[in-house]
Homo-oligomer: A and B are copies of this chain.
Amino acid sequence: MWSKLLVGAAALVALHAETGYDAWLRYAPVEGAALAQYRQAIPAVVSLLDDSEIGRSAQAETVRGMRGMLGRTLRTEAGVPSENAIVLGTLDEIRRAAPAWRLDASLPAESFWLKTVASGGVRYTVVAGADARGMLYGAFALLRKVALGQPVASLDEKQLPYARIRWINQWDRLNGTIERGYGGASIFWEDGKARADLSRVSDYGRLLASLGINGCSINNVNADIKALAPDFVPQIARIAEAFRPWGVRVVLAVDFGSPQSVGGLDTFDPLDARVAAWWQSTEAAIYKAIPDFGGIVLKADSEGRVGPSTYHRTHADAANVVARGLKPYGGLLLYRGFVYDHHMDWRNLKNDRARAAYDNFHDLDGQFDDNVAIQIKNGPIDFQVREPASPLFGALEKTSQAIELQVTQEYMGQAHHTVFLVPMWKETLDFDLHAGPGPTPVKALVAGRVFHRPIGGFVGVANVGMDRDWLGNHMSQANLYGFARLAWNPDLTSSEIVSEWTRLTFGDNPAVDKTIEQMQLTSWRTYEDYTGPLGLQNLTDITGNHYGVNVEASERNGWGQWHRADEKGVGMDRTVATGTGYIGQYRPAVAKMYESEATCPDDLLLFMHHVPYTHVLHNGKTVIQYIYDSHYRGAEAVEEYVRAWRRLAGLVDEQRYRDVLAQLEYQAGQAEVWRDAVTNWFARASGIADAEGRVGHYPGRTEAESMQLQGYTVREVTPAEDASGGKAVACAAASCAAEMKYQGAAGWYTVRVEYFDQAEGAAKFRLWVGKQVVDEWTADLTLLPGRPDRRLDSTTSTRRQITGVALRPGDEIRLEGVPNGSDQAGLDYIEILPVR
């Protein structure tokens, strides 16, 4: 019964166990000397001048946060108190109420000013916003300072958002599933309607507002036509209501064919006056229900979506007709630049999907209305593990833009791999496209700062879900945090961001913080190392689940994610001289660097050039040896993450310690699957052996197909690299077994069993040594929610590791599998390694 009792003064603060639900807003108690200092510095009163919905959130959040951290419930008041107080208000309100404080600066929208004012023997901690949102962001900033142990006794700090658009896109379908969502079902939708209980939306709004996010699209860019059906507005309005106290504007994704499909017109031609009128009246109806509606995001003429091409109109025609109905209300239209032909002829070496965004939009520069921005993915392909900055960022001078970054880890291990994306985003944001005379980094271009555009900014595809930890992996929360922090201030470094996040999320223990920060900061490179280095892109199953290994999935199809690896060489020739000419889309200074193998960075070599496997990199290694080395380095790095995390036992709260350990151990197994698959594929393709003799040689490994099988039958695996030796065994009987006789030296060993955790069933396994069961487990992971994988492949390939097994020569080792449902208790191999 004791677990039911709220402890102490918890009151009004939801006192969760550390499930990850509170993310970076845990408001954990401050301790020791810092507690005394903050109790001194933070006054007993928090007064609100701005009695708006957002204002009340700011005041209540200040009470909640200070109560959590300092164990004190501040008094909520209005007006300027006669005792020490935190005073929340807009600049105007503060100037009116307390002209003597002379807060005379002017601030741009959504900015804030934290200032300590002494007046008449009383000390005020003033949180002044340019507007209500600015004030809310200021309140969160003040709380964050306390949580991070920063001084607050004498403040004078202004913070201005870097760009106006700081939006989240959610790809939630109205049926409640999420395209590329790895954190559970939709927090917005259920069975075609807004969920009955929208408290998660409100809590999400709070998380977003804490970092200055001001808009969120609530449905998939592959939009359901129902989103603009007239009777659907109340559903959207309910969600807007949940977000409103946090200043998060609702944004809608729409289908360009809506005038016809739900409007009842016989056309959706953007230049037809009836179509324009339909958009206008439809948008007016939305604004009537949702006065703070943020705008629309539109994906057209891409991946099967209808668009202006139906009527031979331009993207500008399409964007403007939708945008004009939003304009009177201040709404924005974000038009996705992710437009390409996915039926491209792969045999034509001049074809190149990477060219598409530029080719589609460059010539339209200047034709878009002022409230339109082109929403451009960071790279020219599609959220691959490494891409150059899209040349389109540097090519639009008279058109507003926004960069689209992907928080949800579609190609980045989904919820199963820890990959911190901020360093990758930083590389793009800081990359100078030489678009003007001075420095023109991507961040400045997308913010509209280079060409003085009225709007611009940052869009993150987040796809949080109903899981307690929002994203399916505690570590992945750092990506959401990092995206939002960069949207507010892209000049922050990766280290600064990860350090903030770690302290807020896991507390102040130096050993914990150092371990997590090092892991996060190296994790992208690690993931690239064991997937596709040198600009190869992910080498994943690009037509399928975007998760497991499939080196050839990119090739010989119209999707255009080609790496052109064959027996002679590897890489896409995108040079102007001999290739697709993609490099010519960059401004000369950039193009010159990429055009030459001599100056092209190794990390993007195979993205820009086709080279023989023996090509020597700047680092002195051949391409093929680098592929081998990087994969072994990457897999070993994850093993080290596991070891480092284990050293934190007892220092991290139990639930999250176990969750992260389980995730990292799984990732370590997957990294080995990737390592073996990719290196074997390239060894076979190139015919060049690994100089270090690792590839194809696995000490202690016995293939399941070469064991003595009872009931198990051998299966060819597709693609072949997805299983060790290209084969696996599976069980079609009630139970099966695979046996071998151990022939090595007596000693202590780690036994690794590589098995297949197929979807829709939970097979059981047992490992016997002689007559002794030394391990048993159930294959019941939900690896790809919504995309069940019933195959024997790298996606379902999973490692079970049993440490500390004593083996003696002659021991019979027996693996027993009991299938269940679609899960055939498949086995790939067993590996017996001496304990280090």
A residues engaging B (CB < 8 A)?
1-9, 11-12, 17-18, 29, 44-45, 63, 67, 70-76, 83, 415, 472-473, 649, 653-655, 658-663, 665-666, 746, 748, 769-777, 780-782, 801-806, 808
Contact B12 A773 (CB under 8 A): yes
Contact A5 B775 (CB under 8 A): no
Chain B contacts for A655, CB-based, 8 A:
3, 17, 654
**A653-B657 Cα distance, complex, nearest whole Å:** 11
Instruction: Report whether over half of chain A's contact residues are helix, strand or loop; otherwise say mixed.
Output: mixed
Known: A3-B655, A772-B76, A775-B9. A804 touches B17 (CB 8 A): no
**A804-B8 Cα distance, complex, nearest whole Å:** 11
Known: A3-B659, A73-B774. A18 touches B654 (CB 8 A): yes
Give chain B nearest CB distance to A820 CB in angstroms.
Answer: 15
Chain B contacts for A803, CB-based, 8 A:
8-9, 71-72
Chain B contacts for A11, CB-based, 8 A:
774-777, 802
**A76-B806 Cα distance, complex, nearest whole Å:** 10
Known: A11-B802, A73-B804. 11 other contacts (CB 8 A): A2-B473, A2-B659, A2-B666, A7-B661, A9-B775, A9-B802, A11-B777, A12-B774, A17-B658, A18-B654, A654-B654
Contact B17 A72 (CB under 8 A): no
Chain B contacts for A29, CB-based, 8 A:
649
Known: A9-B775, A653-B654. A804 touches B659 (CB 8 A): no
Chain B contacts for A746, CB-based, 8 A:
83
Chain B contacts for A6, CB-based, 8 A:
662, 777
Contact A748 B5 (CB under 8 A): no
Known: A11-B775, A11-B776, A801-B8. A3 touches B806 (CB 8 A): no
Give chain B nearest CB distance to A649 CB in angstroms.
Answer: 8
Chain B contacts for A806, CB-based, 8 A:
44-45, 72-75
**A29-B45 Cα distance, complex, nearest whole Å:** 49
Give chain B nearest CB distance to A413 CB in angstroms.
Answer: 13
Chain B contacts for A808, CB-based, 8 A:
75
Known: A1-B472, A782-B1. A804 touches B9 (CB 8 A): yes
Give chain B nearest CB distance to A252 CB in angstroms.
Answer: 31
Contact A44 B654 (CB under 8 A): no
Identify 26 residue pairs between A and B in the complex whose beta-carbon atoms are under 8 Å apart, listed by A's number: A1-B415, A1-B472, A2-B658, A2-B662, A3-B655, A4-B780, A5-B665, A5-B666, A8-B665, A8-B803, A9-B801, A9-B802, A9-B803, A9-B804, A12-B773, A29-B649, A67-B804, A70-B804, A73-B802, A73-B804, A74-B806, A75-B769, A75-B770, A76-B772, A83-B746, A654-B654
Residue of B nearest to A18 (CB): B654
**A349-B665 Cα distance, complex, nearest whole Å:** 74
Give chain B nearest CB distance to A62 CB in angstroms.
Answer: 12
Residue of B nearest to A59 (CB): B772
Residue of B nearest to A5 (CB): B662
Contact A75 B781 (CB under 8 A): no
Residue of B nearest to A798 (CB): B5
**A500-B141 Cα distance, complex, nearest whole Å:** 49
**A44-B661 Cα distance, complex, nearest whole Å:** 27
**A660-B5 Cα distance, complex, nearest whole Å:** 10
Residue of B nearest to A75 (CB): B806
Give chain B nearest CB distance to A370 CB in angstroms.
Answer: 45
**A72-B771 Cα distance, complex, nearest whole Å:** 17
Chain B contacts for A3, CB-based, 8 A:
655, 658-659, 662
**A415-B748 Cα distance, complex, nearest whole Å:** 45
Chain B contacts for A18, CB-based, 8 A:
654
Contact B72 A804 (CB under 8 A): yes
Give chain B nearest CB distance to A587 CB in angstroms.
Answer: 45
**A577-B777 Cα distance, complex, nearest whole Å:** 73
**A3-B774 Cα distance, complex, nearest whole Å:** 22
**A447-B44 Cα distance, complex, nearest whole Å:** 65
**A415-B67 Cα distance, complex, nearest whole Å:** 31
Contact B660 A748 (CB under 8 A): no
The residue among A7, A649, A663, A771 with the most chain B CB atoms within 10 A of its own CB is A7
Chain B contacts for A70, CB-based, 8 A:
804
> A7 is contacted by which of B1, B665, B774, B781 (Cβ under 8 Å)?
B665
Give chain B nearest CB distance to A331 CB in angstroms.
Answer: 36
Residue of B nearest to A184 (CB): B1
**A654-B12 Cα distance, complex, nearest whole Å:** 20
